[in-house]
Amino acid sequence: QEYLDFRKERSRMLLSRRNQLLLEFSFWNEPLPRQGPNIYELRTYKLKPGTMIEWGNNWARAIKYRQENQEAVGGFFSQIGELYVVHHLWAYKDLQSREETRNAAWTKRGWDENVYYTVPLIRTMESRIMIPLKISPLQ
């Protein structure tokens, strides 16, 4: 009964809801439990229709530039819901290590080329910083 009451109360506050069914990119790491504490960055890219294969091909090469600190957690793309949406999940010890890791990628030969070819494919992008709950396997 408590749950049913909660759902009823929640429905009064809910203005909209969107769902997505995602698949992971085959070239990306599978998300695994990790030691913390960490913060997570969820980067969302809404691509131009018809560009998913090109995006994937570029990121299959680009991901090698972002593996040194084990920051790459997962990469996913939408199958159901809003299409041509990509999510990248990254782990960092803190915001300072995020900045250092992202800046270090620019010193690696080839990273700039991958960015150059993927930026024109993007309609919009968003970044969210998340802190895991104590029950999350991703600490």
CB 76 within 8 A of CB 22: yes
CB 61 within 8 A of CB 7: no
- For residue 15, pLDDT beyond 90: no
Q: Report pLDDT for 16.
A: 84
**pLDDT per residue as tens digits for the range 48-102:** 999 999 999 999 999 988 887 789 999 999 999 999 999 999 999 999 999 999 9
In the chain, the percentage of residues whose pLDDT exceeds 90 is: 73
Q: Report pLDDT for 72.
A: 92
Domains, in order of start, for the chain: 18-138 (3.30.70.100)
**Count of CB atoms situated within 10 Å of the CB of 90:** 22
Q: Which residues lie closer than 8 Å to 29 by C-beta, 6 or more apart?
A: 72, 73, 74
Output the CA–CA distances (angstroms, integers) from residue 3 to 9, 14, 18, 95, in the order listed. 10, 16, 22, 37
Q: What is the DSSP string of 31-89?
A: P--B-S--EEEEEEEEEPTT-HHHHHHHHHHHGGGG-TTS-EEEEEEEEESSSSEEEEE
| Confidence at 2, pLDDT banded by 50, 70, 90 | very high
Closest CA to 82 of 50, 46, 55: 46
